[in-house]
Amino acid sequence: MNVEDIKVIGNIGAGTMGHATALQFAMNGYAVKLVDSSQEALERGTALIEHDLDTFIQAGLVQETERQAILDRIRSGTDYAALSDADFVIESVLEDMGVKREVWAKVESVVSEQAVLATNTSGLSPSAIATVLKRPQRFLVAHFWNPAQLMPLVEVVPSKETDKAAVDLTVELINGIGKHAVALSTESLGFVGNRIQAAVIRECMNIVNRGIATPEAVDEIVKYSLGRRWSVLGPIASADLGGLDIFDGLSKYMYADLDNNAGEDPTLKAKVAEGHLGAKTGQGFYSWQGADSQALIQERDRSLLKALVDDQKNGGAQER
Ligand SMILES: NC(=O)c1ccc[n+]([C@@H]2O[C@H](COP(=O)([O-])OP(=O)(O)OC[C@H]3O[C@@H](n4cnc5c(N)ncnc54)[C@H](O)[C@@H]3O)[C@@H](O)[C@H]2O)c1
């Protein structure tokens, strides 16, 4: 199958991630079959789709005249039979191996043999999910980043049995809807982005616990140095520019002093035990209760949206 043969997208799950992927495909001309096991979730997801679409219209990313046609491309329901004519299926249901396997066995029983199948798991092994499939060669991970309507990256991760053609097709499709797909060579726990994020968070906790700096100071330091630089050039290219002899020197005297805890993070465990989960409970390292914290979240979304507008001016995220 070529990317031009893909006309219908099956989109399972209408929650935080699923509503955003459905909208992204519909905005790019695809017919979308949006399936969720809960009618209520479909209604919530549809409201989120309309909200995000209106934000894109206000930002000038989508024309108002296209609004209704985009919404009309999304057909929602609770019956998996609707997926029978899907050429590509993206799944964003609960992060649970049992649920994922059950969903994929059901999907494979209704879709064609050619359909390419993608899970948006945050880190479960695609090889482990694919054990329930008769044709695992066309199954892989397409890991969107949250908020998926605003973040460009999608990690495309093969299982041990995925055909290269399925990886290439998925990369082409995802780039074609204005996202930035990056294929991994092989599956790994946490893929790539979450591995790097975990290493950074572990050291941030270490710095705070050793009294080297406050959480506020850590965030400020990253925002105004590494964050800025890495949004232009990644850490490996940045090391090249800094000089690998410098980084080699840093490794010699510093690596042994960095945290290398291999178990659950004790600081995060304690926060969770206190019920301080962050924005969702109103308290984490910061308080997320006042109007200021809501303004901060809105500011983050405005910045991400502005970056998307800039991407589009520069010819799309896939070409950067
Ligand atoms: N939220 C994130 O930050 C994020 C980021 C990247 C990937 N993911 C992954 O995306 C997936 C979905 O996460 P989310 O945050 O959107 O979850 P969510 O809870 O917001 O949405 C999940 C949806 O799946 C539906 N669902 C559950 N079982 C189903 C079934 N058997 N058939 C059809 N629909 C079913 C639920 O009704 C719900 O609407 C997970 O695998 C998660 O790890 C999440």
- DSSP E strand stretches across the chain: 8-12, 31-35, 74-77, 88-91, 116-119, 139-144, 153-158, 180-183
| Number of the ligand 1 atom closest to the C-alpha atom of 41 | 39
Per-residue pLDDT for the chain (320 aa), expressed as one digit of tens each? 999 999 999 999 999 999 999 999 999 999 999 999 999 999 999 999 999 999 999 999 999 999 999 999 999 999 999 999 999 999 999 999 999 999 999 999 999 999 999 999 998 999 999 999 999 999 999 999 999 999 999 999 999 999 999 999 999 999 999 999 999 999 999 999 999 999 999 999 999 999 999 999 999 999 999 999 999 999 999 999 999 999 999 999 999 999 999 999 999 999 999 999 999 999 999 999 989 999 999 999 999 999 999 988 876 544 32
Helix (H, G, I), strand (E, B), or coil: what is residue 241?
A: helix
| 8 Å CB contact between 317 and 152 | yes
CA 35 – ligand 1 centroid, Å: 12
CA 95 – ligand 1 centroid, Å: 7
Mutate to test the pocket of ligand 1, among 11, 12, 17 (most ligand atoms within 8 A of CB): 17
Backbone angle region of 147, left / alpha / beta, with phi > 0 → left and psi within -120 to 50 → alpha: beta
Tokens of 173: 């499709």
Mutate to test the pocket of ligand 1, among 11, 12, 36 (most ligand atoms within 8 A of CB): 36
Rounded to the nearest 10 degrees, what angle do helices 39-58 and 18-27 cross at?
Answer: 50
| 8 Å CB contact between 22 and 71 | no
Pocket lining for ligand 1, CB < 6 angstroms: 12-18, 35-38, 41, 92-95, 99, 103, 120-122, 144, 146
Tokens of 232: 């232009």
> What is the side-by-side strand order in the sheet with 180-183?
74-77, 31-35, 8-12, 88-91, 116-119, 139-144, 153-158, 180-183
pTM of the model: 0.94
Instruction: Return the exposure string of 78-114: e unless at least 16 CB atoms fall within 10 Å of the residue's CB, then b.
Output: eebebbeebbbbbbbbeeeeeebbebbebbbebbeee
CA distance 206 to 37: 42
- DSSP E strand stretches across 188-234: none
Q: Which domains does the chain have, with CATH numbers?
A: 3-183 (3.40.50.720), 192-265 (1.10.1040.10)
